[in-house]
Amino acid sequence: MTAHLPTRLTTTSAIQLKNGMRTRHPVCYTVGMRLGWSFVLLLALGCTSPTLPLPPPEAPTESAGADPQTVILVGAHATPGGLMIVVNENTNYATPAAAAIVKSDGTWTATVNAVKNDVLQIYEQVGNEDTQTLDYTVLIN
């Protein structure tokens, strides 16, 4: 079954004539004829299709923090302005989470309470969406 699409969209607007009278004049805009109905249909479908989930962040590099039970994580290739969240699954810490705002070059730095073999869950919030979670095991003390 083939859908019949209109060949043009018509709107009506009032125009002022030289003698002071107003008249209604059809103004035709031929979207389908100029751009092709395939383009218009794809554009309409693109607006209603679901978005793909954001990919998980890349694994960060790590270094020992100033305190004995802290680790400094440095990541790259994140969305500028996004919020990186790091949660330690080991709940023995008073503060088991850290957050960092992603810089304009896509890098971020976060200091989290963790020791060797702790598993960290790292994800990024971009607007109202969260990326998939990266499970990262701390390698250094």
pLDDT, tens digit, for every residue of 39-95?
444 555 555 545 667 778 889 999 999 988 899 999 999 999 999 999 998 878 878
| 79: enclosing H helix or E strand | none
pTM: 0.62
CA atoms within 13 A on the CB side of 111: 7
Q: 67: domain range?
A: 61-137
pLDDT of residue 29: 37
- Report percent pLDDT > 70 for the chain: 62
Task: Count up the domains in the chain and report the number.
Answer: 2
- Closest by alpha carbon to 110, among 71, 67, 59, 57? 71
- Residue 84: inside a domain: yes
For residues 43 and 65, state if they share a domain. Answer: no
Give 138's pLDDT tier (boundaries 50, 70, 90).
Answer: very high
- Residue 40: inside a domain: yes
Q: What DSSP string describes 16-64?
A: E-TTS-EEEEEEEE-HHHHH-HHHHHHHHHHHHSPPPPPPPPPPPEEEE
For residues 31 and 78, state if they share a domain. Answer: no
